[in-house]
A and B are shown apart, each in its own frame.
Chain A
Amino acid sequence: MIAFPLRRRQRRHDGGAQGLVLEDEWSRPSVRWGLGSAHKLLLLLLVVVGLGPILWLAKSAITPTIDTLTTPMAIFPHGLAWGNLSTAWNNVDVSLYLRNTIVIAIGSWAFQIVVATTGAYALSVLRPKFGNLIMAALLTTLFVPAVVLLIPLYVEIVNPPLIHHSFVNNYLAIWLPEAASAFNVVLMKRFFDNLPREIFEAARIDGAGPFRLFFSIVLPMSRPILGVVSIFAVLASFKDYLWPLLVLGDPNLQPLSVRLPQIAQFTPLGVFLAALALTCVVPIVGFLIFQRGFLRGTGLSGALKG
């Protein structure tokens, strides 16, 4: 019983605990026990179901193929096989495909940031005459599911209207269409809309023209939203499959997501799983480092769509 009042004081300083279960209800043993058990069960579920497959992958990546095939749930019955990783990295060329994936991701990020920031800046701060029309056109594209444009985009890439030179096997074919993300622009514009107009007026009086205002004032003030858009741009790039599959026929240019299914047939399981594991390293590490950005951004996107 002595522990009880101590815990109570702790809880009051517990930032963010929701209000559904109030302090006095929490003190009722049945609630505490019931909810506590539910939480423990949930945690167990999350670890086993959420983390489980990933841990299995990590384990199997360094387990000899034969062991994975015969006793998949055993833990290193005959020792480790670090060789899987090096084989995957070198012979299966995961290093090359990882580099491609990263190059594509960086390019995607750059193009998306440039388009979203300049476009949102123009629409929010500079306010051109046809701004509302452009916004409306942007919003309608939000309702068009991206995958459905694959066909006309593909035909366009293979045979562009004015240029008549195919862009197949060219990273621009990936970067440019991805930059046409109305979601990014709307997110940025909303952020810019919420910046205090007085600051822009002060800058005007200080003598800042539109370019100076953009680079010296607006962009530095936008770090939070730039972070969120960047994280999602890079993540989406890593996850992209169908479009790169269509436009990048040259294996040397393909990212991991496209290449992995193609080598599944003729790669030993252990090595293949090692390749899969290596592919996950960047997204997972990135997620753990930038957790707050991921989670805040997802929440934001939910609010936006509502």
Chain B
Amino acid sequence: MAAIRFDGVTKIYGDGTLAVDALDLAIEEGEFMVFVGPSGCGKTTALRMVAGLEQITGGTILIGERPVNHVSPKDRDIAMVFQNYALYPHMTVAQNLAFGLKLKKISKAEIARRVRDAAAVLDLEQHLQRKPKALSGGQRQRVALGRAIVREPAAFLMDEPLSNLDAALRVQTRGEILKLQKRLGTTTIYVTHDQVEAMTMGDRIAVMCEGRLLQLGTPEQLYTRPANTFVATFIGSPAMNVIPAPVLKLGSDASLVGFRPEHIRVGSAQNGSVGFEAGVEVVEYLGDEKLAHLRLGELSLVAKLPVAERVEPGTAAAFAVSREALLFFAADTGFLADPPA
């Protein structure tokens, strides 16, 4: 178990692309840290720099207080789980698990023990003698995890390990990975583009965009106090409604106001809330709730309403949002701002 620290880490590719821009980040021992962001934001590059698969252009990465900039991947005491699993196709599951250990010259008995234990934890015991092509996607993913576990590393590095699984399997495996990590207590960096995964799995989440860290915090912090409009609209689904403040008569053009779909109520404004009229375009019935797509002038809004609420597509209605739920952002920078006076 080790803490991992990024000190002003930068990555510039040979052709001049800036992939990671002076990243400062400290991950605690045993923490499940999620790097999340759209593609190209640098999260995978950052992960690969920790693994040693990418050279670090500037700054230092420390694994457990040891700078590892010039340490080769095999000596960094990390284990990686790849998006496409990267299993050795010509080896059995057991051989896949044992390969790295054999290279480390670990004793046969110890290797056998670790492989057995990992197979037991991941329910792979019947599959040990099979080759990857005979396994299902979920089983292959578990072998990839197993390969990481047997190394008993200081940190797990996971690069979108669930993105190749179908939706149902993804939800199930999510939970299994979390349970595993809690049980082993290994520091983990988990990269994903899916904010649901980030929110449900991370102890803390690092939201990245264009190589920079936009916000670091717990899921709750990111959800209730997003640092800027990007984080605000990225986290949470459906996305937060962010519109110019004057639309709700709440400030000047210099401000944006944001409110989550679940904070919109049907009905006219009461004390402590702000009201508006909007046309209902489409209503999506989800069983436990309804999503109403609204039109306010040229703006599109989404409201998450209880099923009982009566809204008809093609009609206009009055809606209200509590003032407490409103967040204000500066229109030019997108940063969170105080409510206008």
* Beta-carbon contact of B73 and A204 below 8 Å: yes
Check: A14 CB closer than 8 A to any chain B CB.
Answer: no
* Beta-carbon contact of B84 and A205 below 8 Å: no
Query: Of B82, B90, B100, which one neighbours A207 at CB under 8 angstroms?
Result: B100
Q: A202-B80, A202-B147 are in contact. Are A208 and B86 (CB under 8 A)?
A: no
* Beta-carbon contact of B104 and A205 below 8 Å: no
Check: A190 CB closer than 8 A to any chain B CB.
Answer: no
Question: A220–B73 Cα gap in the complex (Å)?
Answer: 23
Check: B19 CB closer than 8 A to any chain A CB.
Answer: no
Contacts of A198 in B (CB 8 A): 82-86
Q: A201-B53, A202-B82, A202-B147 are in contact. Are A208 and B89 (CB under 8 A)?
A: no
Residues of chain A in range 191-216 having any CB-CB distance to chain B below 8 Å: 196, 198-199, 201-208, 212, 216
* Beta-carbon contact of B90 and A221 below 8 Å: yes
Contacts of B79 in A (CB 8 A): 205
Query: Of B88, B89, B100, which one neighbours A205 at CB under 8 angstroms?
Result: B100
Chain A residues touching B, majority SS: helix
Q: A198-B82, A198-B84, A212-B103 are in contact. Are A205 and B74 (CB under 8 A)?
A: yes
Question: A199–B87 Cα gap in the complex (Å)?
Answer: 7
Interface size bracket, B side: 20 to 34
Check: A21 CB closer than 8 A to any chain B CB.
Answer: no
* Beta-carbon contact of A199 and B88 below 8 Å: yes
Query: Of B52, B85, B100, which one neighbours A206 at CB under 8 angstroms?
Result: B100
Check: B51 CB closer than 8 A to any chain A CB.
Answer: yes
Question: A196–B89 Cα gap in the complex (Å)?
Answer: 11
Contacts of A216 in B (CB 8 A): 99
A216-251 Cβ-contact flags toward B at 8 Å (1 or 0)? 110011010000000000000000000000000000
Contacts of B52 in A (CB 8 A): 205
Report the minimum CB–CB distance from B68 to chain A (whole Å). Answer: 13
Check: B23 CB closer than 8 A to any chain A CB.
Answer: no
* Beta-carbon contact of A199 and B86 below 8 Å: yes
Check: B46 CB closer than 8 A to any chain A CB.
Answer: no
15 pairs, A vs B, C-beta closer than 8 Å: A198-B82, A201-B53, A201-B80, A202-B80, A202-B82, A202-B147, A204-B73, A206-B99, A206-B100, A207-B104, A217-B88, A220-B90, A221-B88, A221-B90, A223-B90
* Cβ-closest 10 pairs across A and B: A206-B100, A207-B74, A198-B86, A207-B103, A202-B86, A220-B90, A205-B73, A198-B82, A199-B86, A204-B73
Q: Which residues of B contact A (CB under 8 A)?
A: 51-53, 73-74, 78-80, 82-90, 99-100, 103-104, 147
Known: A202-B82, A205-B100, A206-B100; 5 extra A-B contacts, CB below 8 A, are: A201-B53, A202-B80, A207-B103, A208-B103, A223-B90
Q: Which residues of A contact B (CB under 8 A)?
A: 196, 198-199, 201-208, 212, 216-217, 220-221, 223
